[in-house]
Amino acid sequence: MKRKVPYLKLFLPRRRGIAVRLAVLSLVLAAITAAWCLADLTSQVLVPPQPILALDHYAINRSLKSYLDNISVLIEPSITVCSDSERVELLVLVTSSPKRFVQRQAIRDTWGKHVPAYFVLGLDGVAVEDLTADNYLEAKEYSDMIIFQFQDHYQNLTLKTALMMQWTAARCPSHLDELMLFKTDDDVLVNPWLLRRVVRQNSGKDLVGYRKMNSYLHRDAYNKWFVPRWLHRPDLVPQYLSGTGYLIRGSRLEEILQAAFEIPIINLEDVYFTYIVSKFKLNLTLTHDRRLSPYKPWLPLDCIYWGLGSMHSLTSNEMLGAWPSIERLGKKYEQGFENCRYFVVNIWTELFLC
């Protein structure tokens, strides 16, 4: 019968061979330390490949108007919330991309049932042929997608946001005086009941969102939010509203677009539209409302979700998991009950967000 060897005892001192075992243990620890240091050194020497920035077209053309004049709508709903004569208080347009069906479906199954929400996206390429059959069938089934003929990637988000404004102004002309456009992303969980309260409490305001103050632009080419100096020379942005979700007064949409046509475009849509165009050029007011949060709760408490009008960076599963609590509290709110009022007013702070 083969005898089992207790390997741990090789490293434990006995009466005999203590020096040998200590020497072996020292060699093992030295090898681990050397491997750790080598890995750290290698990580510093082997720089990862530079990400695809796709900014070359801005070096050729920075005229927003010329871009919009050459982008057409391929698919849009035949009937929208603006098609009738009823009052439209809120319109939500969600930036998405062709392959993010799971994220769009999560919104349809949750908060998208309670507010007029439409998804805005482009194509995987630049030609009409790049419209996939899946996106075509999805748009026909749900009638909530607006697909434009332009290449959909992160650096074109400014173009997409401009198209959202242009589409709203063209499709909702009789509602612009009372309408607030909520521009948001498909990884944002919205609390429809609180979002409507935010709209009502900020009635008449120009732009409302989570205001960031004295931010510095990223000049590192490996950063997702990299802005080369030839696109925007100043390093400091005094204030802007986070692009994860902000409200624009409908009557200001055309004014903002017309002003943007005179200003060279940059790749950060929130900095471009809320600061450079709206604040710096037009001197519009940027109203801070922490309930339109660019963060998400790190503690999954019902009252924390209820205290936010929108929260960012949620996966589709996180959105589906958090929604039942919001919906339950929303139905009680409709009946005149607000169980979380004391918590939201007296306890809720941004310490619960990450």
pLDDT by position in tens, the chain (length 354):
555 545 445 444 455 566 656 665 666 666 655 555 555 444 444 445 555 567 989 999 999 999 999 999 999 999 999 998 789 999 999 999 999 999 999 999 999 999 999 999 999 988 899 999 999 999 999 999 999 999 999 999 999 999 999 999 999 999 999 999 999 999 999 999 999 999 999 999 999 999 999 999 999 988 889 999 999 999 999 999 999 999 999 999 999 999 999 999 999 999 999 999 999 999 999 999 999 999 999 888 899 999 999 999 999 999 999 999 999 999 999 999 988 888 887 776 666 777
The residue with tokens 């909702």 is: 172
Q: Can you give the pLDDT at residue 43?
A: 47
Measured distance CA(241)–CA(294) in Å, rounded: 10
Query: Using an 8 Å Cβ cutoff, are 186 and 104 in contact?
Result: yes
Q: Six-digit token pair at 341? A: 């009022």
Q: Can you give the pLDDT at residue 341?
A: 84
Residue 70's contacts (CB-CB under 8 Å, 6 or more residues apart) are none
Q: Six-digit token pair at 61? A: 């053309």
Per-residue DSSP letter, 343:
I
Q: Can you give the pLDDT at residue 287?
A: 98
The amino acid sitting at 299 is L
Query: Using an 8 Å Cβ cutoff, are 261 and 65 in contact?
Result: yes
Q: Can you give the pLDDT at residue 126?
A: 85
CA atoms within 13 A on the CB side of 103: 21
The amino acid sitting at 100 is R
Per-residue DSSP letter, 230:
T
Bridge partners of 240? Answer: 212
pTM for this structure?
Answer: 0.85
Spell 270-288 as b/e; 16+ CB within 10 A means b.
bbbbbbbbbbbebebebbe
- Nearest of 50, 59, 142, 28 to residue 96 by alpha carbon: 142
Q: Can you give the pLDDT at residue 8?
A: 47
Measured distance CA(86)–CA(268) in Å, rounded: 35
Give the pairing type, strands 211-216 and 236-241.
antiparallel
Measured distance CA(22)–CA(27) in Å, rounded: 9
Q: Six-digit token pair at 157? A: 């988000």
